[in-house]
Amino acid sequence: LAIPAAVLTGMAFAAPIAAFSATQRTPEKFNAVFRFGITPLFLFSGTFFPVEQLPTALQALAWLTPLYHGVWLTRGLSLGTISDTPLLALVHTAILVAFVVVGTILAVRTISARLVRG
């Protein structure tokens, strides 16, 4: 059951990155995205240790990342604890879907603009 949540999490990352990639002419900026974006996400998203142990400011930052919501959903589905808080599971799912929708809209716009501009 955790596979659909993992796929949704991947899509939540892929759509905004696709929008970003359409604005780049060279691949050098992707190094910065991975170094300053993706790598810190693993540290501050609850992947390795609970977010509740982070300082309050970093907890708020974790809530803004798609990985936190994906980790919460997949962990709950894998462990069978998601039925304890079904409303919270819907919130996490809705946030991931919002990332996918907004990222897809931005990707379509930036790729279309790039194709028109040449």
* pLDDT in the model for residue 1: 80
* pLDDT in the model for residue 35: 87
Tell me the pLDDT tens digit for each residue of 67-106. Answer: 999 999 999 999 999 999 999 999 999 999 999 999 999 9
At CA 12, angle to CA 56 and CA 92, rounded to 5?
50
How far is residue 70's CA from residue 52's CA, in Å, rounded to a whole number? 16
pLDDT band at 118; cut points 50, 70, 90: low
Amino acid, res. 8: L
Tell me the pLDDT tens digit for each residue of 27-68. Answer: 888 888 888 888 888 888 888 888 899 899 889 888 889 999
Question: What is the CB neighbour count within 10 angstroms for residue 7?
Answer: 11
